[in-house]
Structure 1
Amino acid sequence: MNFKDLGISEPLVQVLKKSGITTPTSIQEECIPLIKDYKDVIAQAQTGTGKTLAFLLPLFENISPDVCATQALIITPTRELALQITEEANQLAKGKAINVLAAYGGRNIGSQLNKLKGTIHLIIATPGRLIDHIERGTIDLNKVKTVVIDEADQMLLMGFRNEVDQILRATPRNRQTLCFSATMAPNVKKLAYHYTYSPTMVTIEPKKVTIDTIRQEVIETTDRWKADTLCQVLEEDNPFLAIIFARTKRRADELFAKMKKRGFNVQVIHSDIAQNKRERILKSFRDADLQYLIATDVASRGLDISGVTHIYNYDVPETPEIYIHRIGRTGRAGEDGYTCMFVAPKDNLEFNMIERKLRRNLPKRQLKEELRKTK
């Protein structure tokens, strides 16, 4: 099966080929024909399965460049995810003359307003900024044929239900609606069915390879010694590119200050960091000018950076699903990855839940003796 078999036109196939993408993933195989045929779809798939192209490619096929109206809308919960989807859409736009607008908070609305003076075929937006444009009358969704609700589980978690309702009321009732979610808890499924009409359910089981190609270890420590222990591990590992997960913005900032003081090549992203600065940081990390990126879960949602060799769970995640989501940032495309989790006595409940979910005991890592002596 190739992209031509799925009905993707030659110019888009060539764009994919230049990016090294020649074979569709499972979710792309299942979703592209359905979406091209204007069917409503509810899809469950983890990050890293190629779900963004699963909806972008058929959207690009269905959009008519010569129609001067917004024909497709993608709603996503975070600015980082909106930016990432926009980057992929702009790549595809090289193969088809489609104008794309990213509308999200944290950026000057003036530049978005200027771009809106021309024809915009596809809008990728966070709920708050999109509603701002709707209320200003600067965005008209009356001709929208397809709406994508991306990361529906996070939309609910972050309390965007009312905003999504308001946005959809501004679109035609006979639109095509696509819901994509990493998890499909009952409340997420109920929301998805509420927004769609006679949808086709597509479920892509998380690839076991994501876990199987990742070496996972645990270090038992205390909160007091956690930062010191992490820094010793980083000196021992000297990873090519590493993401370090902290549970809160405050914890991320505190760790950033400690690592910076010790001379590590590190930056931090969370929702309080200005958007233009976050974009600069992410570009530096993608270009491997940065070695370490400290992130909170919300800020990291949708990050898909190739070359990440190590993931460090500085704080134990609240749920096994978050743990799997975090470590899935490494070991991509069959490459080996490494993750290390720092567990304090207060983390035992969450840690035990993770081991039960994995159905295995994670091996304990011991620090090298000479490093322990320097503590």
Structure 2
Amino acid sequence: KRAILLLLCRSPRPTPQQARVSPMAMAAAAGSSRRVRMDDDELTFETSAGLEVVGSFDAMGIREDLLRGIYGYGFEKPSAIQQRAVVPIIAGRDVIAQAQSGTGKTSMVSLSVCQLVDTNIHEVQALILSPTRELATQTERVMQAVGNHMSVSVHACVGGKSIGEDIRKLEAGVHVVSGTPGRVCDMIKRRTLRTRAIKLLVLDEADEMLTRGFKDQIYDVYRYPPPPQNFRLS
């Protein structure tokens, strides 16, 4: 089963420091790690009934080599949004997550994707779409850091970079692609980015992408992988 994660960057209400988690099945999300993280006591959460709050990375059932990467990156305890989001994501649930910036979104996506990847399969297993090159590249960097001890291969597939380099990397085999819709669409249409092994599609800042006119490109990407899929929204 493929999962979809939709990550929304805007607050659903005008309250300045409110975060909302509203799942298709269960919830998750956050803001980007390049910004200062909010304290958990500044956030208000709305989650689906029965959602379990998991207070430590060790209790999430995360693989040992990934835990080493998480702690090595400097994390000690999951943020409030990670406590609610990671377990549903790695369980393969479809998730819609909405939260303010600075609540741990990028690291949440990174560790969840790394947990789902089988490094023995040298094909793209997770596809993360972001509205900007900077965000896609940031996600690549964080994922490489937390996945350092498990040899996960991540490639940022974005405009402004060499198409030839993208083709070379994808043909060599990567586990995760973090990219912008236009370049990702191009690589799929060239049959360089193969979608048959994708387990998870993440739309990061999905609301931002839709308002910026990426709707058709996102649809083109979505229709290529065979159903069913899991989606995650940021």
TM-score normalized with structure 1 length: 0.47
Cα shift at 1:13: 2.0
| Structure 1 segment 76-91 matched on structure 2, within 5 A | 76-91=130-145
Per the alignment, in what secondary structure is the counterpart of residue 65 of structure 1? coil
Matched-pair contact (CA < 8 Å) for 2:73–2:145: no
Identify unmatched segments of 5+ residues in structure 2: 1-54
For residue 111 of structure 2, the aligned residue among 32, 46, 57 is: 57
Residue in 2 that maps onto 1:104: 158
Whether the 8 Å contact between 2:73 and 2:146 is mirrored in structure 1 is: no
> Is contact 1:3-1:24 (8 Å) kept?
yes
Q: Distance in 2 between matches of 1:96 and 1:139?
A: 22
1:154 equivalent in alignment to 2:191: no
* Aligned partner (choices 116, 130, 133) of residue 187 of structure 2: 133
Q: How far apart, CA to CA, are the structure 2 residues paired with 1:21 and 1:13?
A: 10
Is the aligned partner of 1:7 residue 2:61?
Answer: yes
> In 1, distance between residues paired with 2:95 and 2:150?
24
CA deviation profile, 1:65-120 (whole Å, cap 9, x unmatched): 11122111000000000010010011123121211111000111111111112121
Residues 1-375 of structure 1: matches in 2 within 5 Å? 1-180=55-234
The SS at the match of 1:20 is coil
CA distance in 2 between counterparts of 1:71 and 1:43 reads: 21
**Residue 15 of structure 1: how far off its partner (Å):** 1.8
CA deviation profile, 1:219-275 (whole Å, cap 9, x unmatched)? xxxxxxxxxxxxxxxxxxxxxxxxxxxxxxxxxxxxxxxxxxxxxxxxxxxxxxxxx
- 1:48 counterpart SS class: coil
> Could you tell me whether the CA contact under 8 Å between 2:95 and 2:233 is conserved in 1?
yes
Give the counterpart letter for 2:141 in structure 1: E
Could you tell me the TM-score, scaled by structure 2's length?
0.74
The RMSD of aligned alpha carbons is 1.1
Partners of 1:16 and 1:66 in 2: how far apart? 21
Q: Secondary structure at the match of 1:142?
A: coil
Q: Aligned equivalents of 1:44 and 1:127: distance in 2?
A: 20
Alpha carbons 2:117, 2:175 under 8 Å: kept:
yes
Q: Residue 14 of structure 1: CA displacement?
A: 2.0
Higher Cα Rg, which structure? 1
Count of matched residue positions in the alignment of Structure 1 and Structure 2: 180
Of Structure 1 and Structure 2, the greater helix share is in 1
1:144-172 CA distances to partner (integer Å, 9 max, x unpaired)? 11100000111112111111000000112
Q: After the TM superposition, which of the residue ranges 74-83 and 132-141 deviates more from structure 2? A: 132-141
- Larger relative contact order (C-alpha < 8 A, sep ≥ 6)? 2
What is the rounded CA distance, in whole Å, between the counterparts of 1:28 and 1:64 in structure 2? 22
Shift of 1:18: 2.3
Q: Return the offset for 1:19.
A: 2.4
In structure 1, C-alpha distance between the alignment counterparts of 2:151 and 2:141, rounded to whole Å: 15
Q: Secondary structure at the match of 1:123?
A: strand
Q: Distance in 2 between matches of 1:19 and 1:64?
A: 21
SS of equivalent to 1:32: helix
SS in 2 for 1:140: coil
